[in-house]
Structure 1
Amino acid sequence: MGTGVRRRMGVEERRQQLIGVALELFSRRSPDEVSIDEIASAAGISRPLVYHYFPGKLSLYEAALKRASEDLAGRFAEPHEGSLGARLLRVMRRFFDFVDEHGPGFSALMRGGPAVGSSTTNALIDAVRQAAYDQILSHLGVTEASARLELVVRSWISLAESTALIWLDGRRVPRAELELQLVHDFAALTAVSAAYDADMAALLHTMVKDEPADGPFAELVGRLISLAS
């Protein structure tokens, strides 16, 4: 019969445990609503011991946010296989997986939370946006974006963020529809820009030339044609 003696955690192991517990709680409720006492209870330790590893809730929130931001940034990594439309759709599905799993925390981060406006928070958010931006350029086969392309890609990333926030407020639109719509939005933004710039027109041609008949971009064209007829 076992003695039930609990193994003592090392410093870094305990820190990582607390970050994981905090992230789980922040995923269910806004960080403003989660107390240090709740975090300590969920981790099975005392409140003073939490403060031994983190000076306060803000520092613990920032540590949890760092882990979450690294996870979110990784959702934009996608193998260069298949058409661009199919790749973007897979990325959007993983992005919304994250939003679905971490709704309150994601909303608090983007709309305001205990660390909003801090240099740490801003740097983490910027890092996620830059990771997404770099991934999209990679899939487009572009190493240095023109001013118009940068505008399109960064605008689309902002659109994905705002769409996710609106969706979280009641989830009134089916998630799968929004994922596909955001892929269509990327194509639409590129098409509008292509009407003003020859380089963007060439990029648009490259994007759609290998798109299969049942791919996301082809579906958008079909929908637009049916509306015009």
Structure 2
Amino acid sequence: MTTGVRRRMGVEERRQQLIGVALELFSRRSPDEVSIDEIASAAGISRPLVYHYFPGKLSLYEAALKRASDDLAARFVEPREGPLGARLLRVMGRFFDFVDEHGPGFSALMRGGPAVGSSTTNALIDAVRQAAYVQILSHLDVQDPPARLELVIRSWISLAESTALIWLDGRRIPRAELEKQLVHDFAALAAVSAAYDEEMGALLRRILKDEPADGPFADLVGRIVALAS
């Protein structure tokens, strides 16, 4: 982060600098705890100059949130190569990288913060969830998802969010275990849905036939068999 250094910047360059500075501060503390004075000091400019580029902290927070939401949405992009379980595990690794790097900001966004409830914030959160949903559909090679599949995917995305928030409160469970558990959760949600619907059953069988014996889905099956024995 640049501190105490003044230099002339173009309007857009200065705006992007302030967004970056704010995002770095928000990633370490809740946005409610970060003042405009701190942002100005970290950027090496005066408080009035911050207001020249942003009308207030809310607008700066929303701009920082937009950059963060674009970053988070990109974490769900994964090449369609290899078994689904391994792909989802890599996605969860990048998702928790983001949560780890932006803990207080991620928590403030989901639980409460200066922009929570605003139309801008809600739209950004919805856009991330939709991007994740579209990516999962792509990996399943489904264009027109049935209602049960949509329920499975959207429920899983919500579960990933809530799991990350709980993990941030003390990090009491090893992160790697949670990443694998969430992949198992996806398979479990799909399996329960498949038990009620033949279309979901066919989809699940198609997924599982490409899964290797050492993959996360096979690991889940082994754990369940061990419990039942």
TM-score range, shorter chain: over 0.9
Aligned to 1:228: 228
How many equivalent residue pairs? 225
Aligned to 2:104: 104
Q: Structure 1: which amino acid aligns with 2:180?
A: L
2: CA distance between counterparts of 1:17 and 1:6?
Answer: 12
**TM-score (ref. length: structure 1):** 0.97
Aligned ranges 1:66-77 → 2 under 5 Å: 66-77=66-77
Unmatched 5+ stretches in structure 2:
none
Aligned ranges 1:133-148 → 2 under 5 Å: 133-148=133-148
Aligned to 2:160: 160
Aligned to 1:208: 208
Shift of 1:81: 1.1
1: CA distance between counterparts of 2:67 and 2:6?
Answer: 26
Q: Structure 2: which amino acid aligns with 1:117?
A: G
Aligned to 2:80: 80
2:195 is aligned with 1:195? yes
Give the 4+ runs in structure 1 shifted more than 2 A: none
The 8 Å contact of residues 6 and 44 in structure 2, kept in 1 or not, is answered as no
Q: Structure 1: which amino acid aligns with 2:221?
A: V
Q: Structure 2: which amino acid aligns with 1:180?
A: K
Shift of 1:8: 1.3
Deviations 1:34-59 (A, max 9, x none): 00000000000000000000000000
Q: Structure 2: which amino acid aligns with 1:61?
A: Y
| SS of the residue 1:143 aligns to | coil
| SS of the residue 1:171 aligns to | coil
Aligned to 1:11: 11
Aligned to 2:91: 91
Unmatched 5+ stretches in structure 1:
none
Shift of 1:7: 4.1
| SS of the residue 1:173 aligns to | coil
The 8 Å contact of residues 6 and 45 in structure 2, kept in 1 or not, is answered as no
1: CA distance between counterparts of 2:122 and 2:174?
Answer: 30
The 8 Å contact of residues 19 and 60 in structure 2, kept in 1 or not, is answered as yes
2:207 is aligned with 1:179? no
Q: Structure 1: which amino acid aligns with 2:189?
A: L
2: CA distance between counterparts of 1:7 and 1:169?
Answer: 40
2: CA distance between counterparts of 1:6 and 1:208?
Answer: 58
Q: Structure 2: which amino acid aligns with 1:67?
A: R
Give % identity.
88
| SS of the residue 1:114 aligns to | coil
Deviations 1:92-118 (A, max 9, x none): 000000000000000000001000000
2: CA distance between counterparts of 1:124 and 1:210?
Answer: 35
